[in-house]
């Protein structure tokens, strides 16, 4: 096996190892929840609660989670089933109904049952060891949470904003927004515009592509690595302050790609017939390409490294920026 093939397989192994890892069931310390997270103290952390409601096939679902392992699966029913183990009760608030058939099109998941009289109905956040939702395939899911690990599979669109915890998303068809301050973000077999961010963690995306003109891909981490394979977007921006960036795939005609890292390695593994213009600023670092470049111009009077060049016919645009890191383009 040659060196480039080895690197390409290594990226895939890294991706699939994070994707295949299962999230442990856990219950965090509620006393350590962030003070600015707007959920009051929950009660009754024993037993389980389960509820179901008929909804539209394209329902919009909102849920606030204080802590827990969140597991959401799409299914072929126009129904939401909510299950909480070892935590709060669970209930639904219908915020909007369809004018055509009166089915709910916007539902909020609650940490209490509205049909039961409780002392504290102001606490809408769900908490528990396991929080499980079965929702229609066409659902849009919006989650805001404290400390939680989140796994979502086979829905239309997702927005997840965590204070802390890993996020795993699979088979999301029309768009993703995933942000966590402490944790990894992993995406597989998904489409639509994507924004993936973590402050302290890694980002892995495998087999992701645009679904409509104008869809973009953005990945950003402060202190983790970013690994992308088979990520196909004409607008791609990738930033890691202190972690490596690895991209293995094709450049789309007319695409604009930006890769930035302050002091780490940026590696692209591309087909030998790739076609792109290159603009690279690498400061006190270095730039190297195994694919022959033409029209190479280096800034002669600058103390900081920079260059422009062309691969093939120059059908796409590659922008690189680093201060002290290395930029390497390798052949597939």
Listed by start position, the domains of the chain span 44-220
CA distances from 319 to 103, 189, 235, 284, 285 (A): 48, 26, 12, 17, 15
pLDDT digit string, tens, across residues 105-141: 999 999 998 877 555 565 789 999 999 999 999 999 9
CA distances from 245 to 30, 151, 219, 324, 331 (A): 35, 24, 10, 14, 16
pLDDT for position 301? 67
pLDDT for position 2? 53
% of the chain at pLDDT higher than 70: 83
**For residues 129 and 25, is the Cβ–Cβ distance under 8 A?**
yes
Q: pTM here? A: 0.85
- Give, for 200, the enclosing helix (H) or strand (E): strand 194-200
Distance CA 162, CA 217 (A): 20
Distance CA 172, CA 163 (A): 22
pLDDT digit string, tens, across residues 313-332: 999 999 999 999 999 999 99
pLDDT digit string, tens, across residues 52-95: 999 999 999 999 999 999 999 999 999 999 999 999 999 999 99
Polymer length in residues for the chain: 332
Cβ neighbours of residue 321 closer than 8 Å, sequence gap 6 or more: 258, 259, 260, 280, 281, 282
């Amino acid at each position: 096996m040659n060196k480039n093939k080895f690197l390409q397989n290594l990226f895939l192994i890294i991706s699939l190892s994070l994707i295949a890892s299962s999230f442990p069931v856990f219950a965090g310390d509620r006393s350590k929840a962030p003070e600015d997270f707007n959920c009051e103290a929950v009660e009754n952390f024993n037993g389980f609660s389960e509820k179901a409601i008929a909804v539209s096939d394209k329902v919009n679902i909102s849920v606030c989670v204080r802590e827990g392992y969140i597991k959401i699966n799409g299914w072929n029913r126009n129904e939401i089933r909510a299950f909480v183990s070892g935590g709060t009760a669970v209930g639904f608030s219908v915020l909007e109904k369809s004018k055509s058939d009166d089915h709910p099109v916007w539902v909020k998941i609650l940490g209490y049952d509205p049909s039961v009289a409780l002392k504290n109905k102001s606490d809408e956040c769900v908490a528990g060891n396991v929080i499980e939702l079965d929702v229609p395939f066409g659902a849009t899911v919006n989650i805001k949470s404290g400390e939680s690990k989140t796994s979502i599979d086979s829905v239309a669109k997702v927005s997840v904003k965590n204070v802390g915890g890993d996020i795993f998303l699979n088979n999301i068809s029309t768009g993703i927004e995933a942000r966590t301050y402490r944790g990894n973000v992993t995406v597989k077999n998904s489409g639509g515009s994507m924004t993936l961010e973590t402050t302290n963690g890694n980002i892995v995306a495998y087999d992701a592509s645009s679904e409509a003109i104008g869809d973009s891909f953005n990945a950003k981490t402060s202190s983790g690595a970013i690994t992308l394979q088979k990520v196909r977007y004409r607008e791609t921006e990738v930033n890691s302050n202190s972690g490596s960036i690895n991209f293995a795939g094709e450049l789309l005609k007319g695409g604009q790609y930006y890769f930035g890292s302050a002091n780490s390695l940026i590696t692209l593994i591309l087909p030998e017939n790739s076609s792109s213009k290159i603009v690279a600023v690498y400061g006190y670092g270095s730039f190297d390409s195994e694919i022959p470049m033409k029209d190479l111009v280096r800034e002669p009077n600058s103390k900081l490294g920079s260059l422009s060049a062309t691969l093939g016919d120059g059908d796409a645009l590659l922008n690189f920026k680093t201060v002290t890191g290395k930029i390497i383009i390798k052949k597939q």
